[in-house]
Amino acid sequence: MAQAQGAYATGLYRNVFQELGYSEREIEARVQDTWAKLFEGPEETRIYYEAGGDMGYLLDTGNLDVRTEGMSYGMMAAVQLDRQDVFDRIWKWTHTYMYMTEGENAGYFAWSCNTDGTRRSNGPAPDGEEFFAMALLFASHRWGDREAPFDYGKQARDLLRTCLHKGEDGVGYPMWDPHHKLIKFIPNCDYSDPSYHLPHFYELFALWAYPEDRTFWKEAAEASRAYLRLACHPETGLAPEYAHYDGTPNDSRGYGKFFSDSYRVAANVGLDYEWFRADEWQPEEAGRIQAFFAGIPPEDYRRYTISGEPLEEKSLHPVGLLATNAAASLAAGGPNAEAAVRLLWNTPVRTGVRRYYDNCLYLFAVLALSGRYRIYMP
């Protein structure tokens, strides 16, 4: 039975796998095996690679580049599993090659690089920045700060300040719209990506960011929860990849449908509910998504309109989708929630060229459903 308050207040984290009858020994083995397959080999499942004597990167195996998305995910997984060695390798690679010191994006991270560190883009992606900041704060609290760039807490707070105040001097753009208090898809645009919305992170930024920014982060958490209510379809629960600030799908570039980015919404809703229990809409939303997919086998997952019309294009990341649907069970209950978790348990990590995104989402789902995706306090 779920606790009445979230884990932030109670310090208690649900182990949904255990609730469904899996033993703690089985669960710990699954967690460690998933980490090992992604970070230590074999090649058919590995997405993490060491570089030089003290760095490492996560490879987007489908596009053969290194992305802030994956690097920040790798750091979050490493801090959750107490792997400071891997965390520091990823962070040093990130800070060495991705951090921009010149131009309108100075203070942000280049979202895509080659494996030798050369940049494919000088633009940032806000989903990377918010995960970097949260992972760094957890690292500061779990392991303590050292010399730069391993002064994790300062690095996080400086980054959060840049995300909010960039452009106030006339150079560049902030990552959050200052009026709507919503995260943007990229800094120089006027729309959002529902899967970027992490109110459970913003609640913590409101505690640990520089004092002058804390009120904004608290308001951003409330704004994001309200935004998701608008962006997610009231019957299917599906969200588009891109959406305007009023929540309506932004299909100007073909991203107004439920597809790869959208999958993360279910997992984000589940984790926000687990940590904070701040919105009783979230169990309803998680239940709607799980009900929509309950009768669809993963091999037939597709691109959908948010009203649920299936389109011709098959899902590029079916394992990622079933993983995030399972993670929604932190907020949902009933037979669909159980079925989604058991489907994840019975599905191995993905192999092959598309494995990167799927397996990142898979690892986060395993951590969340085993009670191991936790808040680390000062």
- Unique residue bearing structure tokens 């799980």: 290
CA distance 155 to 161: 10
Report the C-alpha gap between 83 and 77 in whole angstroms.
8
The residues that bridge with 285 in the sheet, in sequence order, are none
- Catalogue the E-assigned strands of 247-296: none
Closest by Cα among 136, 157, 37 to 94: 136
Q: Which residues contact 184 (CB under 8 A, 6 or more apart)?
A: 126, 173, 174, 175, 176, 177, 190, 191, 192
Which candidate in 60, 65, 69, 129 is catalytic?
69
> Which entry of 261, 272, 279, 285 is annotated as an active-site residue?
261
Q: Where are the alpha helices (DSSP H) in 99-213?
A: 126-143, 152-165, 199-208
Closest among 23, 89, 32, 29 to 56, alpha carbons compared:
89
CB 62 within 8 A of CB 353: yes
- Annotated catalytic residue 203: no
Catalytic site residue 246?
no
Contact criterion met (CB below 8 Å) for 330 and 271: yes
DSSP letter at 169? T
DSSP of 73-90:
HHHHHHHHTT-HHHHHHH
Q: What is the 3-state secondary structure (H, E, C) of 26-47?
A: HHHHHHHHHHHHHHCCCCCCCC
Residue 86 in tokens: 């891997």
Tokens of 246: 């009023």
Active site residues: 69, 261
